[in-house]
Amino acid sequence: MDCKALAVLLADVLKSEMPLHVKDWVSSCLLSLDRLEGLTTNVKVPIEVEVIIHDKIPRLVDEIRSSLYPEVQERGAIELHDFVSQGVDAYVAAISNVGGIFPLVELLDKGTPKAKEASLSILYSIGTNEDNHSALIRAGVVKHLQRIVRSGSPQWMLALYLLRSLPTEVDVFS
């Protein structure tokens, strides 16, 4: 089997419903393949992007959702923010697709200051896609954004922009 075919096969496994312990091994193998000299020029599979979308992002969202430790949630939110900051739309979509909206909205309320800042920035990026507006509203983002705007914190303007992007049925300043 050639390396390209193996990389494509492994990338497909990452997209599947395989258990996370299997995906750990697969993502490690993909990254090792990516490091082989000359492989990246021959393989047209964005290995690093696939690993981030199908392994790292779901894992980070799960950490934010399930951890009882604020520093773990903060680290997860910051790492997600770093991915989103790369400007890859697929990263933003992956966060939304794995159920990241609700835990990120919770961080706006209960997270550390750094986690709140990272969460707001990620939610703003998610909000740029109108398909996510209903999920943002269901997650209760409006009341948190209103609180941020009223507080005059350094992020108030970003919160206001996100509020204004939501459907007009939402009373932004109620």
Mapping DSSP onto H, E and C, the string for the chain reads CCHHHHHHHHHHHHHCCCCHHHHHHHHHHHHHHHHCCCHHHHCCCCHHHHHHHHHHHHHHHHHHHHCCCHHHHHHHHHHHHHHHCCCCHHHHHHHHHCCCHHHHHHHHHHCCHHHHHHHHHHHHHHHCCHHHHHHHHHCCHHHHHHHHHHHCCCCHHHHHHHHHHCCCCCCCCC
pTM for the structure as a whole? 0.76
Residue 37 confidence class, pLDDT cut points 50, 70, 90 = very low
Residue range 75-89: average pLDDT? Answer: 93
Which pLDDT score, from 0 to 100, does residue 41 have? 43
Residue 45 confidence class, pLDDT cut points 50, 70, 90 = low
Q: Which is more confident, 17 or 172? A: 17
Residue 108 confidence class, pLDDT cut points 50, 70, 90 = very high
